[in-house]
Structure 1
Amino acid sequence: MQEDFLHYIWQHKKVNSNHLQTTQHERLEIVSVGQQNTNSGPDFFNAQLKIAEQLWAGNVEIHIKSSDWFVHNHESDKAYDNVILHVVWEHDTEIFRKNNSIIPTLELKQYIDANVLQNYNKLFAAKNKWINCETDFHEIDEFVLNNWLERIYFERLERKSKTIETLLETSKNNWEAVLFKMLTKNFGLKVNGDSFFSLANSIDFSIIRKLHAKPKSLEALMFGQAGFLDEDIQDVYYLELKKEYEFLNQKFNLNKDQVIPVQFFRLRPQNFPTIRLSQLATLYHTEQHLFSKVIEINTIDGFYKLFSVSTSEFWKSHYTFQKVSKLSQKKITKSFIDLLLINTIIPLKFSYAKSQNEDINETILKLLQQIPSEKNSIISAFNSLKQVSKSALQSQALLQLKEEYCNKNKCLQCAVGNALIIK
């Protein structure tokens, strides 16, 4: 038995409430359960109860056993002076106020529906399972599940918006600079994300603005900061970039000491950091006011067109500086743009709309529903239980579900867990 379960039972009135009585055999009627308190002090504030014929207003404290009151030293804490009901699973001792009157106690175990208790025990008794509800996940009603996934997707966006707010503070409220940092990080994908982010942090965005009309200068800046121009390579384009970077370094007093080295290990050639940096440089050469366009565009085709850029000419026949490869355009693919939308563009649009007190939730949902579901081990595992992930909306929400609810055993705060407990 967990105290959280008793909180859940009280908050949602999952009791046979027709004939409730205190342990003193006084009739109890719950008018209002009160507001749950997640900080120190009683568990529920401002409850309203009718005990016998008297209407009470005050706080409710919940424990497994009545004696836990003394274990937690509530008898000497003034915060508990206004407790009007002690809700427990098992009543093993009387609790008194300072004037020696008994605090009414409700012993829950005799009032909880047997099926609810059985379902709760089944859910939390699960051992060696990927998630607690994996044997029953397929039973969840589509409407309940879809509504829950939509809700926790926006929880995920809210969490991401906190990161964006931090970036705004460090960027002096410059949304263009924040977009540059987030895009650069996501151009690095998982392998080079941190490295690319450190690279973006090493460049003041005002320099990107000043160089936008010079694609070779942008490439020199990015490759130089990433450490690619420190080698002795006798290639005409490489030497041009190296010379340009030396000029930029002297002009802008650049510093790359904190830039994390990039990696090529286990990357497909199209994801090599050289290719992604060239594409990023091309994007910022092509689009001077990228943030404004990101905010204005609300269609998936609009974003595919905006981000459909290629590398510079040199990289159409190279993947590294040292070796010539078969000629190819190396355009940013739709699948890569989908990742940018999921991880950068949509969170940024959400955060900006929030800062402007605008509601663009429906626009966000429409965009996500047009993006294919992500493919990873977590999504595959959920789909093996119930074919649920049909778009990026579901895949992002399922990641949130696994990370923030399943992994933390927060079944009582989850619509899926709730539905299985009261079925």
Structure 2
Amino acid sequence: MKEDFLHYIWQHQYFDKTALATTDGEPLQVLRVGFYNTDAGPDFREAILRVGEVEWSGSVEVHLQASDWHRHHHQHDPKYDQVVLHVVWQADVPVLRTDGTLVPVLELQDRVDLRLLHTYEQLQKSRNEVPCAAFWPEVPEIAKTLMLERALVERLEEKGEEVLQVYRSYGNDWEQAAYHTLLRGFGFKINQQAFEQLARTLPFHVVRRQQHNLPQLEALLLGQAGFLADADDGYAAQLQREYIFLQHKYKLQPLPRHQWNFLRMRPANFPTVRLAQLAAALHQHASLFTKILESDSGKKYEQLFQAPVSAYWQKHYMFGRESKAVAKGMGKGSAQNLVINVAVPILAAYASHSGDRTLLEKAITLLEQLKEESNKYTRLYEELGWQAKSAADNQAALGLYKRYCHPINCMRCAVGNKIMKQNKAAL
């Protein structure tokens, strides 16, 4: 058993209240269970209880054993002086606040139906990647739909918070944060770390000054990435001369070339091509952040990343290696990937920052316009009878799996709650 089971039992009051009393024999009445606290401090805040003849307002702390209070050092933490009830499975020792006063204790081990505990343990010990797979067909579709919608919003808020952290790290500069997020997205997992390093070593204010000139942008990006020093054709030499001038002007230190990955990649995905595509996109859009806020359709968002590359890169995948002339602009699938991993998180971040929830709704609508692509996460739920219909469903499945199913966080999941409730009703 983990504490989340007791959190669930307390929150929903799924225990026998006959002659309810503390371990000291004081009559206990729960007037309000309190609000679950996800931050530091006691587990439930603003609870209202009657202990004996006195009504108390404060916090409730939950542990498997009362002695966990000492193991977690709450006896030295003033935040826990506000605890008016200690809810435990087993009351093995008395506990005190920092001022030495006794904390009232409610022991639950003889008040919870063990069949409810059995259902919980079935979920916890499941060997399925989706712990509730055996129960899934029994859960009403509306409960699953609502939980997936919640998982989607939580995932977008989480991705938005990542962008906000970047925004704060750059001194509250949205354009720099959008630029960093864009470069990270252009890494497409395999070269993500290298692109992030490029964003850190090549500031946006430097890029902004060269945005009007595509060859200079290519020189900056490819030179800073370390691809020009050993290149041996005429165009590379031209870019290298330009980069050396810009390097001295802005005091740049290029990245080592070895950190870029080419292995097991299609030539169209080579980092050299991605950098040429990035240069074209930056050249075409003076303010990516503003464009992301103002665009109003999935197609327009895709076009943010689909600018045509320069003539040289129409015929090359790497310097000195000519290829058949083909349009090497960003493909639709890759552009959609960038919409999901760049535009949507930026919208979510600014929604949180500004308090404008319509931007979060816009991000969700945008995902709903994009085609779903089956992946290992959506397949887990598709095997249970659920069908993804858009990129929004993909993100919802990913959020549900990573936040709830993989860590077996069933007691915080509406589907797990429904299973517990249905099994309780059958007791």
State TM-score, norm by structure 2: 0.85
Matched position secondary structure for 2:189? helix
Name the residue aligned to 1:367: 366
Name the residue aligned to 1:287: 285
Which of 320, 323, 336 is residue 322 of structure 1 equivalent to? 320
Instruction: Give the whole-Å Cα distance in 2 for the aligned partners of 1:306 and 1:68.
Output: 54
Name the residue aligned to 1:387: 386
Matched position secondary structure for 2:322? coil
The worse-fitting range, judged by mean Cα deviation, of 54-63 and 285-294 is: 54-63
Instruction: Give the whole-Å Cα distance in 1 for the aligned partners of 2:340 and 2:279.
Output: 21
CA deviations over 1:345-379 (Å, ceiling 9, x no partner) = 11112222332331222212211111223443233
Opposite residue 256 of structure 1, the aligned amino acid is P
Name the residue aligned to 1:264: 262
Matched position secondary structure for 1:229? coil
Name the residue aligned to 1:237: 235
Opposite residue 324 of structure 1, the aligned amino acid is E
Matched position secondary structure for 1:399? helix
Aligned-residue CA RMSD (Å): 3.4
Name the residue aligned to 1:246: 244
Matched position secondary structure for 1:331? coil
Q: CA deviation at 1:74?
A: 7.5
Determine if the alignment matches structure 1 residue 13 to structure 2 residue 13.
Answer: yes
Matched position secondary structure for 2:47? strand
CA contact 1:168–1:178 (8 Å) conserved in 2: yes
Name the residue aligned to 1:417: 416
CA deviations over 1:382-408 (Å, ceiling 9, x no partner) = 322332432222222322232233333
Instruction: Give the whole-Å Cα distance in 1 for the aligned partners of 2:199 and 2:408.
Output: 37
Give the count of matched residue pairs.
421
Q: CA deviation at 1:120?
A: 1.0
Instruction: Give the whole-Å Cα distance in 2 for the aligned partners of 1:221 and 1:78.
Output: 54
Name the residue aligned to 2:33: 33
Matches for 1:175-190 after TM superposition, within 5 Å: 175-190=174-189
Opposite residue 31 of structure 1, the aligned amino acid is L
Name the residue aligned to 1:123: 123
CA deviations over 1:159-180 (Å, ceiling 9, x no partner) = 3333323322343333222222
Which of 310, 333, 336 is residue 335 of structure 1 equivalent to? 333
CA contact 1:4–1:412 (8 Å) conserved in 2: yes
Matched position secondary structure for 1:230? coil
Query: Measured at CA, do residues 16 and 263 of structure 1 come closer, stay the same or move farther in structure 2, by a change above 3 Å?
Result: same
Q: CA deviation at 1:18?
A: 6.3
Q: CA deviation at 1:411?
A: 1.8
Q: CA deviation at 1:141?
A: 2.7
Name the residue aligned to 2:214: 215
CA deviations over 1:79-137 (Å, ceiling 9, x no partner) = 77776544333466788999x999765442443345422311211232x4324223223
CA deviations over 1:186-233 (Å, ceiling 9, x no partner) = 112111111112112221222222222211111111111111111151
Name the residue aligned to 1:226: 225
Instruction: Give the whole-Å Cα distance in 2 for the aligned partners of 1:96 and 1:242.
Output: 70
Query: Measured at CA, do residues 248 and 113 of structure 1 come closer, stay the same or move farther in structure 2, by a change above 3 Å?
Result: same
CA contact 2:198–2:255 (8 Å) conserved in 1: no
Name the residue aligned to 1:140: 139
Name the residue aligned to 1:397: 396
Instruction: Give the whole-Å Cα distance in 1 for the aligned partners of 2:195 and 2:244.
Output: 20
Instruction: Give the whole-Å Cα distance in 1 for the aligned partners of 2:186 and 2:238.
Output: 24
Matched position secondary structure for 1:228? coil
Matches for 1:67-216 after TM superposition, within 5 Å: 85-90=85-90, 105-126=105-126, 128-216=127-215
CA contact 1:198–1:258 (8 Å) conserved in 2: no
Query: Measured at CA, do residues 87 and 278 of structure 1 come closer, stay the same or move farther in structure 2, by a change above 3 Å?
Result: closer
Matched position secondary structure for 1:165? helix
CA contact 2:301–2:343 (8 Å) conserved in 1: no
Matched position secondary structure for 1:151? helix
Instruction: Give the whole-Å Cα distance in 1 for the aligned partners of 2:249 and 2:76.
Output: 68
CA contact 1:220–1:241 (8 Å) conserved in 2: yes
Look at both structures and tell me which one has the larger radius of gyration over its CA atoms: 1
Which of 349, 353, 356 is residue 355 of structure 1 equivalent to? 353
CA contact 1:137–1:386 (8 Å) conserved in 2: no
5+ residue gaps, structure 1, are none
Identity %: 37
Q: CA deviation at 1:10?
A: 0.8
Query: Measured at CA, do residues 61 and 190 of structure 1 come closer, stay the same or move farther in structure 2, by a change above 3 Å?
Result: closer
Instruction: Give the whole-Å Cα distance in 2 for the aligned partners of 1:158 and 1:256.
Output: 34
Opposite residue 13 of structure 1, the aligned amino acid is Q
Opposite residue 297 of structure 2, the aligned amino acid is T
CA contact 1:195–1:260 (8 Å) conserved in 2: no
CA contact 2:351–2:360 (8 Å) conserved in 1: no
Query: Measured at CA, do residues 19 and 303 of structure 1 come closer, stay the same or move farther in structure 2, by a change above 3 Å?
Result: same
Instruction: Give the whole-Å Cα distance in 2 for the aligned partners of 1:74 and 1:267.
Output: 53
CA contact 1:226–1:261 (8 Å) conserved in 2: no
Opposite residue 343 of structure 2, the aligned amino acid is I
